[in-house]
């Protein structure tokens, strides 16, 4: 049976204020098109996920790459991870600095003997692999600098903002299935607003922020990382695909996040049949998908 190509992306699940919604939708649409076109030209699911995530890391609308939240020290520290559902290989970086596209470093790591590098080790690894390091300031945009100053004046992390009032910036993620039926999934983030230096959430951890298994599904998650890690949300959602259709599996995993650890967030997935699913228990989730046969991505928020 020939596999239908499918691509799905998200631009986070939180409260996205009305004035930011069009930018989120446009960013998700553009990334879906880039990823889908990669698949259509014969690229692998990994190629498509990497291309879609690079597109969103480069878009300052999102909390990934350029435009990410600053941590309490006023520094951008990025996390990203990627998994190949055919080989179960994983590549990930956490708390990496001076790199505009951490998903590219994750992709290089995926084919290496290692899985994950963190902090300065990750930055050194990226440089050794030929990735150009940037000036840390190049990752900072005015809006985020202003937000950081506000948080600093308040003197404490914006805990309520993390759950509901986070003003429209988000983690990005993508899942794809290619003609061979190979599935890949990845996630990239600047983490939560005003996070302590070195804090790492779910996004770079396989099984938590993303997971891929050709026999089940590929998943990318977003939301409150500490809660997502506790229930290994991405792996759990893939496991639900053994018994449920993609949309029902996504809903079941999200219900588990809410019921077991009172977590807030969302996820996207593509199962081994190329069916897409999406669920969230926040007020918005920016997302888009395209399945072979569609003329345009379907975009939602």
Contact positions vs ligand ASP (CB under 6 A): 12, 170-171, 189, 191-192, 201-203, 222-223, 225
Q: Which is nearer to ligand ASP, 191 or 218 (CB)?
A: 191
SS3 state of residue 1: coil
Nearer to ligand ASP, 44 or 203 (CB): 203
Which residues are CB-neighbours of 213 under 8 A, at least 6 positions away? 85, 88, 183, 238
Tokens of 14: 């939180």
By beta-carbon proximity to ligand ASP, the closer residue of 172 and 270 is 172
Marked catalytic residue, from 32, 38, 171, 189: 171
SS3 assignment, position 136:
helix
Residue 280 CB, nearest approach to ligand ASP (Å) = 11
> Least distance from C-beta 234 to ligand ASP, angstroms?
11
Measured from the CB atom, the residue of 265 and 277 that comes closer to ligand ASP is 265
Any catalytic annotation for residue 171? yes
The closest of 148, 131, 130, 160 to 68, measured between CA atoms, is: 148
* CA gap 135, 100 in Å, rounded: 10
Query: Min. distance of Cβ 180 from ligand ASP in angstroms?
Result: 30
Within 13 Å, how many C-alpha atoms sit on residue 45's CB side?
36
C-alpha to C-alpha distance for 92 and 149, rounded to whole angstroms: 30
Residue with smaller CB distance to ligand ASP, 214 or 236: 236
Q: How far apart are CA 193 and CA 68, in angstroms?
A: 9
In the complex, least distance from residue 192 CB atom to ligand ASP, rounded to whole angstroms: 5
- Closest separation in Å from C-beta 3 to ligand ASP: 29
Cβ proximity of 106 and 82 under 8 Å: yes
Helix (H, G, I), strand (E, B) or coil at 16: coil
| 3-class secondary structure, 212 | strand
- Helix ranges (H only) for 187-294 are 225-231, 233-240, 246-261
Which residues carry out catalysis? 171
């Amino acid at each position: 049976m020939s596999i239908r190509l499918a691509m799905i992306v998200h631009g986070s699940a939180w409260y996205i204020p009305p004035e930011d919604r069009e930018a989120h939708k446009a960013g998700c649409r553009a990334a879906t098109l880039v990823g889908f076109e990669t698949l259509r030209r014969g690229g692998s699911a990994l190629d498509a996920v990497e291309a879609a995530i690079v597109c969103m890391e480069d878009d300052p609308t999102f909390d990934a790459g350029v435009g990410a939240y600053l941590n309490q020290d006023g520094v951008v520290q990025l996390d990203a991870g990627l998994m190949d559902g055919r080989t179960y290989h994983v590549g990930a970086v956490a708390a990496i600095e001076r790199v505009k596209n951490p998903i590219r470093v994750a992709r290089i790591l995926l084919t290496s003997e290692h899985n994950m590098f963190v902090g300065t080790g990750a930055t050194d690894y990226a440089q050794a692999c030929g990735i150009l390091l940037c000036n840390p300031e190049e990752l900072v945009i005015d809006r985020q600098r202003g937000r950081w100053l506000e948080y600093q004046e308040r003197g404490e992390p914006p805990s309520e903002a993390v759950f509901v009032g986070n003003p429209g910036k988000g983690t990005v993620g993508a899942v794809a299935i290619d003609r061979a039926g190979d599935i890949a999934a990845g996630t990239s983030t600047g983490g939560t607003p005003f996070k302590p230096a070195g804090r790492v959430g779910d996004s770079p951890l396989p099984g938590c922020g993303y997971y891929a298994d050709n026999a089940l599904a590929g998943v990318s998650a977003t939301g409150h990382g500490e809660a997502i890690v506790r229930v290994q949300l991405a792996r759990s959602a893939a496991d639900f695909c053994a018994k449920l259709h993609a949309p029902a599996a996504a809903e079941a995993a999200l219900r588990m996040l809410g019921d077991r650890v009172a977590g807030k967030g969302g996820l996207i997935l593509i199962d081994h049949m190329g069916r897409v699913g999406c669920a969230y228990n926040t007020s918005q989730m920016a997302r888009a998908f395209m399945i072979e046969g569609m003329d345009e991505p379907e975009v939602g928020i």
